[in-house]
Amino acid sequence: MNFRQLQTSLSRLKGWRETLFVLLLAQRAFPNFALFVEAVGEGNGHELHEIITRCWELLAADDRTREQTDVLVMRLEELAIDPNRYDVYGVYPAIHCYQLVEQVLYSWLNPDNRRALNASRSSLQTVTEFVEYTADANIDENDLVALFDHHPLVKQEQDFQIECFRQVKMKRFPSAKFIKKMRKFAENKGVSNIGICLD
């Protein structure tokens, strides 16, 4: 499967598979949020980490309730970031991470809306924007496209998403063992999709 084929397939992903796919992207993006809020003196990301952890727990539970999800939505809203308050690039990867977690919760509140494809695009956008931000300021559009096509972070992001999709499609049921394995895979030893490391 190539990335274009993945994009086509994601529009048909639903239920726990869709939620898990988006949660995997959110987990991998978490260092982007944590390091940003620490850098601007707004904490260390602990609260968002707890929300993500709770999402993993609820995904594995058979008795998840609307009330539990509503509580997490309210907790998440308290962590919302206003990009107009910060004149630094790092705010955007942090917001993308926040939005991915938000989509995990909304996938439970409104399961009829498809979210995996937009989540995929958002996660890849985080990477391509980072590549553009760190590129030569005078790079032209054609060279930038070529850079995207060959940049290792872009390739890693695409490969990660393809593997996530492959894994979730293979399983008939999300066992606790499978969810634990996928969480560890997404944690990626603390390295985010743009190469930011928590250690």
* CA–CA gap between residue 158 and residue 160 (Å, rounded): 5
Q: How confident is the model over 21-75, as pLDDT tens digits?
A: 999 999 999 999 999 999 999 888 999 999 999 999 999 887 889 999 999 999 9
Residue 78 lies in a domain: yes
Kindly tell me if the per-residue pLDDT of 125 is higher than 80.
Answer: yes
Q: How confident is the model over 140-168, as pLDDT tens digits?
A: 888 998 999 999 999 999 999 999 999 99
Which pTM was predicted? Answer: 0.95
Three-class SS state of 59: helix
Please answer whether residues 123 and 32 qualify as being in contact, where contact means their C-beta atoms are separated by less than 8 angstroms: no
* Residue-number span of the structural domain to which 10 is assigned: 3-190
User: What pLDDT is stored for residue 62 in this prediction?
Assistant: 72
Residue 199 lies in a domain: no
Cα-based torsion angle of the residue sequence 123, 128, 134, 136 in order, rounded to the nearest 10 degrees = -170
Neighbours of 61 (CB within 10 A): 11
User: What pLDDT is stored for residue 43 in this prediction?
Assistant: 82
Domain count, the chain: 1
* CA–CA gap between residue 177 and residue 151 (Å, rounded): 34
Phi (first) and psi of residue 44, to 5 degrees: -135, 10
Residue 70 lies in a domain: yes
CATH of the domain at 51: 1.20.1590.10
User: What pLDDT is stored for residue 140 in this prediction?
Assistant: 87
Residue 198 lies in a domain: no
User: What pLDDT is stored for residue 109 in this prediction?
Assistant: 95
Residue 196 lies in a domain: no
